[in-house]
């Protein structure tokens, strides 16, 4: 089966174990690609299990890692993010036709690595006496995928380099809390996640800029317009500027973040 067709099939899978296994297998042994194929959108995307129950973000309770239930809930929340990240990568892979082959290979890599992250986190969650689905979760990541489903440029701007980039900021403080709570295995897993996520955000930056160039748009000054148009969430301090720089954010973008996004980033010319 052709790569993008197979990616859509995996995206439709509802069982988390099978989805992760199939995404990983697709990455390790990809079939031939037909970048020009126009695929029909099936109903009910993405495939997901009956649990966790999805609730509004403000109804998900705070999670302290300093009690066993709180630590399990925190790790479940991260596990849910990684499950959604599998879906997001697969959706980017199948949904947008007519792009360079490297675009699809990049998102296939992301899907395979997100599947590994989900599996590692789920295994650790099980070692704590819980499993994926035991706690309520929210659907913010996929909601942005829905909003940007008609425009690959908006998708690249607002999913990998906005929502997923938040993980670059959030992971080190979470690791510090987990280390203080004595959960070194969780810290080790998040080291893997953070390393890979820098690469995933870099992929988003690469294709966002490539698409902007093709449309004659300035990627730095366009970004705040897209944030407003698609109602992307406001980013919160602290920012992991070193990780964001490693992921390819421009100095002007980092300076804008450091100003808390109050004004639009300004292009500095020599």
Write down the pLDDT at residue 236.
83
Where residue 237 sits, what CATH number does that domain have?
A: 1.20.1260
Share of residues in the chain with pLDDT > 90 (%)? 83
The answer to the question of residue 128 being in a domain is yes
Write down the pLDDT at residue 134.
95
pLDDT tens readout for residues 92-110: 999 999 999 999 999 999 9
pLDDT-wise least confident of 61-65, 143-147, 207-211, 222-226: 61-65
Alpha-carbon torsion (29, 108, 5, 209), positive or negative: negative
Q: Alpha helix locations (H) across the chain?
A: 3-12, 16-28, 68-95, 101-127, 140-147, 152-158, 166-180, 184-215, 219-229, 241-246, 251-258
| pLDDT of 270 above 70 | no
| pLDDT of 253 above 70 | yes
CB 247 within 8 A of CB 205: yes
The answer to the question of residue 46 being in a domain is no
| pLDDT of 264 above 50 | no
| pLDDT of 76 above 70 | yes
Write down the pLDDT at residue 266.
39
Write down the pLDDT at residue 57.
81
Query: Measured between alpha carbons, how far is 60 from 40 in angstroms, rounded to an integer?
Result: 34
pTM: 0.94
The answer to the question of residue 105 being in a domain is yes
Domain, as residue range, for 16: 3-31+60-258
pLDDT tens readout for residues 107-141: 999 999 999 999 999 999 999 999 999 999 998 88
Tally of domains in the chain: 1
| pLDDT of 252 above 70 | yes
The span from the first CA to the last CA of the chain, in angstroms, equals 51
Query: Measured between alpha carbons, how far is 133 from 125 in angstroms, rounded to an integer?
Result: 11
CB 207 within 8 A of CB 157: no
The answer to the question of residue 36 being in a domain is no
| pLDDT of 260 above 80 | no
Nearest C-alpha neighbor of 130 from the set 197, 192, 186: 186
pLDDT tens readout for residues 148-205: 999 999 999 999 999 999 999 999 999 999 999 999 999 999 999 999 999 999 999 9
């Amino acid at each position: 089966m052709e790569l993008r067709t197979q990616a859509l099939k995996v995206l439709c899978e509802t069982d988390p174990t099978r989805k992760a296994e199939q995404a990983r297998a697709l990455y390790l042994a990809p079939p031939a690609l037909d970048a020009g194929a126009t695929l029909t959108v099936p109903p009910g995307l993405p495939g997901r299990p009956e649990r966790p129950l999805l609730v509004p973000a403000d109804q998900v309770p705070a999670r302290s890692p300093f009690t066993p239930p709180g630590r399990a809930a925190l790790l479940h929340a991260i596990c849910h993010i990684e499950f959604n990240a599998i879906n997001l990568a697969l959706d980017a892979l199948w949904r947008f036709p007519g792009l360079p082959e490297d675009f699809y290979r990049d998102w296939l890599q992301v899907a395979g690595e997100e599947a590994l992250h989900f599996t590692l986190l789920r295994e650790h969650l099980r070692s704590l006496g819980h499993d994926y689905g035991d706690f309520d979760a929210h659907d913010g990541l996929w909601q942005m995928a829905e909003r940007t489903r008609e425009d690959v440029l908006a998708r690249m701007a607002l999913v990998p380099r906005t929502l997923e980039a938040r993980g670059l900021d959030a992971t080190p403080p979470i690791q510090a809390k987990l280390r203080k709570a004595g959960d070194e295995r969780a810290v080790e897993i998040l080291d893997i996640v953070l390393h890979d996520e820098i690469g995933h955000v870099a992929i988003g930056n690469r294709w966002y800029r490539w698409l902007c160039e093709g449309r004659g748009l300035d990627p730095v000054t366009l970004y705040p317009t897209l944030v407003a148009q698609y109602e992307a969430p406001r980013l919160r301090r602290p920012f992991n500027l070193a990780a964001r720089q490693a992921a390819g954010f421009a100095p002007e973008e980092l300076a804008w973040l450091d100003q808390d996004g109050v004004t639009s980033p300004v292009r500095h010319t020599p």
